[in-house]
A and B are shown apart, each in its own frame.
Chain A
Amino acid sequence: MLIDQDRCIGCRMCMAACPYQRRFFNWFDPPVTEEERRITYSVDYNIPHRRGVVEKCIWCRHRVKEDRLPACLEACTKAGMKAIWFGDAIEDAVSDGDEVVMLSALIKGRGAYRLKEELSTEPRVLYLSPRGGTQI
């Protein structure tokens, strides 16, 4: 789901409708670096950020197009945590940057679940159950 930052009128209807509250509005002028300013805007890219529009995580679509993984995943794997997997549900393959596994196997083996299943929103974000240990 992408948001055209050149077209958004900033009514925030989509934010009110989002049952996960994962859309965000730029209430002020967001900080923009010189480097970002030089980038020509495309809908694949949230930057340069601007005031008065709604943004959301777009899974680093610009990187995925270049066959790279999202930045959060790369950072997580580099830090040795390997908590995030990203991939293609149709091809049944996800990667954490180190290895590639079958999504269906991961869902089954790790007890993956989705939030607010009851709303039939079919979110594409799955959460893995914790490995061992206790939860406080």
Chain B
Amino acid sequence: MTARARSDILFNPLRASSTRFYLLVTGLLAVVGWGIYAYNVQLTTGLGVTGMRSVVLWGVYIINFVFFIGISHVGALMSAILRLTNAEWRRPITRIAEVVTFASLIIAALFPLIDLGRPERLLNLALYARLQSPLIWDFIAILTYFVGSALFLYLPLIPDIAACRDRLDDASGWRKRVYGLLSLRWRGSEYEWRHLESAIKVMAIIIIPLAISVHTVVSWDFAMTLRTGWNSTIFGPYFVGGAILSGVATVILIMAVLRKLYHLEAYLTERHFDNLAKLLLALDIILVYLTINEFLVPGYKFLQQSNLEGQWLHAMIWGPYAPVFWRQVIGGLIVPAVLIALPKTRNIAGYFMAALLVDIGMWLERFSVVVASLAVPQLDYPWGVYLPTWVEFSITAAGFAGFILIYLAFTKLFPIISMWENREGQVERQEEETAEKTAAARAEHSDRVSHATPSASRRGFLKTSATAFAGLALGLASSRLLSSAARTVEEAFTRELGEQRVSLSVLGESTPVESLGERTRFFVAIPSLLPPGTNLKEVRVTDGGRFVALLYRNPGLRPLSIYSEEVAVVVLQTYDPRVDGPPTYLPDRFSRVEVAGKRGFAREPAENEVNGRLEPGRLQWWSGGVRRTVLANLSVAQLRSIGASMEAGRRG
């Protein structure tokens, strides 16, 4: 294959796109459109449409932010280090990595904005900035990093843009203008080359500390607080290590896809995948080492203790977050390492699988870092519960689709493989110095693309814009349609059962009894992420039986204390006799009673029991039942009768 034919492969994606490509773009735009709809729901209703609440106050958005900042590291670190060490094999892959940085930083910067309660006040961050806040460090670091990595991507791109300008004769008008503007009148003189190469070298040196500092500052957002689970001195390296790992994994994924999509087998050879997989394995082992440090040290000291660190570690290693934690450690670190190490899976498919597992694992790792630590009650409060909602999932999907779209758009505008940096590219540059050859090449070139007339390029533009509109419209329409369909189905079921459904999911969430029908069912969002032993739940009928409130109960807590004249009169509490046994704090003056068909214990506390945390003159029931079922079976009539007997108790 001649050098020119080889480099033509790189121009092909810039010339025409297949129908399949347009379909892919339409699908991705539909996902983005759906995400915009979900964000609109969040804007108009409030952040309450997410699963976040006052205990677990950050969720998927912040996880995505950390994840995308993480994968952005690869461009800077991998391509800069490989450039500085003159690793020859890096030539075709540096730009692939640098575009990952560029695209993921755009998406990463969006997620904190989506997470804001008041996005319209974003400017306050700059107007009233205080240098004491890690958030400002973040803001400055990411902005600097974005400018730096955009430059680092742009500088080596200039000669290639000039090549596009000179060789893509059939490009449409706007394309030509873009190439003309961005190529900065590059002529390829010796003077220009000298300066470009030294500029790239300087940027490569600057970008490394910049990238490390950015993710370290992101880790400080967490580590600088007085929170359990974030009290770590190695959070900076732990985050940076995970960042480069997930970044390299992302580059492997993208390389494999681009290789197939644009037929780049001549450029992206097995050797590149082998080398990157070795890099991935090394980074994987570093992260295993950091994870051992992060958990073995506090685990040795605190795991058996009942302090906050001990509770957090317990929840991570055996408790409700164990599935996430072990899935990340085994599925995201150990299995990929084995896949790369075994000779049988040492091929592109095996590397692809390993990289995919690493990326999923790293997302899960961020999940446990953000959510598990926030869920630990800092005082005698119940554990936090966090389950992402459809809004969060939709916006997350839109973020990933947006990342792919930015990437695809780049590959359609500029050659994704640095042409001049490949040796062939440099040989070709020398060839082109002879004018005859250029002319001959031009002729050959125009032969090859003679079918591309100006009207064809206009058709291409129309096709692109039609695709964009169709995709966005499809996303918006289908989300509207599906959500209204879901609502209709739900309403039909409710009508059929003659039931009203009330779900209580948050600590202290209440609903007025008057608004309930006779056949209301209470749905308790069963927290799958509750700490071990927290299977006690309470429904609290408050304010003379007019409100129903749900409370999760932490067994470490004392029974609820009710002091005010206006609040709770009856406390219904359930426990699972198979797991908990009878409540250990049950005072001996309790007698067995039956309330609303539920057997339990009740007593009239003595007048002098204010300090005993029981209220004088109020009746309290402890109702035994099987875990997780009692609340859903309580009818409104039963609740009203409880309220009435409470009222009687109060008067009597």
Contacts and interface: CB of A to CB of B under 8 A. Distances in A.
Interface of A: 7-13, 15-21, 23-29, 51-54, 75, 79, 81, 83, 115-116, 119, 121, 130-136
A24 B121 contact: no
Contacts, number: 116
Interface string B93-123: 0000000000000000000100111110110
Interface stretch (B282-290, B340-348, B377-385, B431-439): B377-385
Interface stretch (B13-21, B203-211, B414-422, B557-565): B557-565
Given A21-B55, A52-B117, A79-B565, A135 B379 contact: no
B613 A25 contact: no
Interface centre among A11, A20, A25, A119 (most CB of B within 10 A): A11
A87 B649 CA distance: 38
B462 to A, nearest CB: 41
B133 interface: yes
A25 B47 contact: yes
B54 A15 contact: yes
Interface in B183-224: 221-222, 224
B41 to A, nearest CB: 12
B612 A134 contact: yes
Contact of B611 (A19, A53, A130): A130
A20 B227 CA distance: 10
Given A11-B115, A12-B58, A19 B53 contact: no
B608 interface: yes
B117 A29 contact: no
Given A7-B128, A9-B122, A28-B48, A135 B612 contact: yes
Interface in B28-81: 45-48, 52-55, 57-58
B585 interface: yes
A26 B117 CA distance: 9
B225 interface: yes
Contacts of A27: 46-48, 52-54
B531 to A, nearest CB: 15
A24 B54 contact: yes
B477 interface: no
Interface residues of B, number: 49
Those 8 A-B pairs whose CB atoms lie nearest each other, nearest first: A10-B117, A52-B117, A133-B611, A27-B48, A28-B48, A19-B226, A17-B225, A28-B46
B635 to A, nearest CB: 28
B565 A25 contact: no
B559 A19 contact: no
A16 B374 contact: yes
Given A19-B378, A26-B117, A133 B225 contact: no
B125 interface: yes
B585 A136 contact: yes
A19 B227 contact: yes
B116 to A, nearest CB: 5
Contacts of A24: 54
A28 B45 contact: yes
Given A10-B118, A11-B116, A27-B48, 19 more contacts: A7-B128, A8-B121, A12-B57, A12-B58, A12-B115, A16-B58, A17-B225, A18-B378, A24-B54, A25-B47, A25-B54, A27-B47, A28-B45, A79-B564, A81-B563, A119-B226, A130-B611, A135-B613, A136-B612
B610 interface: yes
17 contacts: A7-B128, A8-B117, A9-B116, A10-B47, A10-B121, A11-B112, A15-B54, A16-B225, A16-B374, A17-B225, A21-B378, A21-B381, A25-B47, A51-B117, A133-B611, A136-B612, A136-B614
Interface centre among B118, B379, B612 (most CB of A within 10 A): B118
A45 B611 CA distance: 33
Contacts of B124: 7, 9
A136 B57 contact: no
Given A10-B118, A79-B564, A133-B610, A16 B57 contact: yes
A133 B58 CA distance: 41
B135 interface: yes
Contact of A11 (B135, B564, B585): B135
A18 B57 CA distance: 12
B563 A26 contact: no
Contacts of B125: 9
A131 B608 CA distance: 12
Contacts of B611: 130-135
B133 A13 contact: yes
B298 interface: no
A133 B611 CA distance: 6
Interface string B239-264: 00000000000000000000000000
Interface string B550-583: 0000000011000111000000000000000000
A39 B610 CA distance: 38
B134 interface: yes
B587 interface: yes
B536 to A, nearest CB: 15
Contacts of B608: 133
Nearest to A23: B54
B226 A121 contact: yes
Given A7-B124, A27-B46, A81-B563, A133 B54 contact: no
Given A13-B134, A27-B52, A133-B608, A7 B121 contact: yes
A136 B558 contact: yes
A29 B46 contact: yes
Contact of B559 (A18, A23, A132, A136): A136
Contacts of A79: 564-565
B439 to A, nearest CB: 60
B379 A20 contact: yes
Contacts of A13: 133-135, 221
